[in-house]
């Protein structure tokens, strides 16, 4: 079928060549063709041959060949994904480099604040993948005392904005309190029990706020101070700049990591984190 398709394509090219040079060129030289005839021969007819030729080579040659060799499609998709990731990495690194000061200014940090490798983590407290990978990150910073993790709040649900605002505001009570608060929220979850889709929005928001404050108290924070600090304009500024960065990066889900000169959409294993950190140190 592949050979037949190529043969047919060659035949169509030959016929097209004959039509064009045998009729169009001669007609133009002899000036025997009318305007409508010239229009047909010089535009419509070549377009028909192009369409028919493309259709036959696609259906009779390329498609069967692709079906018999699906690894070509797989390699193509891999190449496209690789190119997409490469372009994304360039954009992300350029953005972070140009906005490093504001990118970290109000963001809470866990691990070593003066670490030689920085991990930027975009996450949401209601994200299941984020909660699972949180344990892995804690193990990483326990094993490697020179890793700094910058927590970038990227709430998926409007109701988790309360938790996001709270952890940013907790930075004013020190990095130790931030780490404890972050740990409790990830381990126990910020979604209140007994929620119902029929509940009024105000009641749902109130339940999320109460849950967040309960976890803050459990983590040892001054809840009254935390509530006051949550109203600080810098908290919303941090959320706004993080959302803008995420949009710029093309983040489609959480978690999302930037480690060294690489980006990693999705959760990573401990081995993957260690490999990325080692590479970033080179």
What confidence tens digit (pLDDT) does each residue in 115-146 have?
999 999 999 999 999 999 999 999 999 999 99
Residue 97 has a pLDDT of: 82
User: Which band of pLDDT confidence, cut at 50, 70 and 90, is reported for residue 30?
Assistant: very low
Given this model, what pLDDT does residue 250 score? 86
Among 68-72, 159-163, 222-226, name the most confident range.
222-226
Higher pLDDT, 250 or 188: 188
Which one, of 170, 188, 169, 191, lies nearest residue 179 by Cα? 170
Task: With a cut of 50, say whether residue 238 has pLDDT above it.
Answer: yes
Strands 117-123 and 147-153: parallel
Between the alpha carbon of residue 145 and those of residues 61, 111, 120, 187, 247, the distances in Å are: 59, 7, 16, 22, 32
The contacts of residue 106 (CB under 8 Å, 6+ apart) are 168, 171, 234, 235, 237, 238
Lowest-confidence segment of 3-7, 56-60, 125-129, 234-238 by average pLDDT: 3-7
Helices (H) and strands (E) in the chain, counts: 14, 5
Please give the model's pTM, rounded to 2 decimal places: 0.71
Give Cα 7 distance to the centre of its chain: 45
Q: Alpha-carbon distance 149 to 175, whole Å?
A: 11
Distance CA 120, CA 27 (A): 70
Q: Is the pLDDT of residue 234 over 60?
A: yes
**How far is residue 152's CA from residue 154's CA, in Å, rounded to a whole number?**
6
Contact between 12 and 53 under an 8 Å Cβ cutoff? The reply is yes
User: 162: helix, coil or strand?
Assistant: helix
pLDDT at residue 112 in the model: 96
Record the tokens describing residue 150, joined without a space: 């910058």
Top mean pLDDT of 61-70, 188-197, 234-243 is at 234-243
């Amino acid at each position: 079928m592949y050979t037949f398709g190529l043969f047919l394509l060659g035949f169509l090219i030959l016929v097209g060549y004959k039509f064009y040079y045998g009729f169009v060129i001669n007609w133009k030289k002899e000036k025997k063709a009318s305007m409508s005839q010239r229009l047909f021969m010089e535009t419509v007819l070549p377009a028909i041959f192009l369409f028919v030729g493309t259709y036959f080579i696609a259906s009779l040659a390329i498609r069967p060949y692709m079906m018999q060799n699906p690894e070509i499609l797989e390699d193509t998709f891999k190449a496209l994904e690789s190119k997409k990731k490469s372009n994304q990495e360039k954009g992300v690194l350029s953005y972070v480099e140009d906005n490093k000061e504001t990118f970290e200014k109000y963001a809470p940090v866990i691990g070593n604040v003066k670490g030689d490798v920085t991990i930027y983590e975009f996450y949401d407290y209601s994200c299941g993948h984020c909660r699972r990978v949180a344990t892995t990150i804690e193990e990483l910073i326990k094993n490697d005392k020179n890793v700094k993790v910058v927590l970038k709040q990227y709430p998926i649900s409007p109701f988790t904005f309360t938790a996001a605002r709270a952890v940013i505001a907790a930075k004013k009570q020190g990095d130790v309190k931030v780490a404890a608060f972050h740990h409790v929220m990830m381990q126990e979850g910020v979604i209140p029990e007994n929620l119902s889709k029929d509940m009024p929005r105000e009641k749902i928001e109130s339940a999320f706020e109460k849950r967040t404050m309960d976890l803050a108290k459990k983590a040892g924070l001054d809840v009254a101070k935390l509530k006051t600090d949550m109203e600080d304009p810098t908290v919303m500024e941090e959320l706004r700049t993080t959302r803008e960065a995420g949009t710029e990066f093309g983040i489609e889900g959480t978690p999302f990591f930037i480690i060294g000169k690489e980006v990693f959409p999705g959760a990573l294993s401990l081995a993957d984190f260690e490999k990325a950190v080692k590479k970033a140190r080179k």
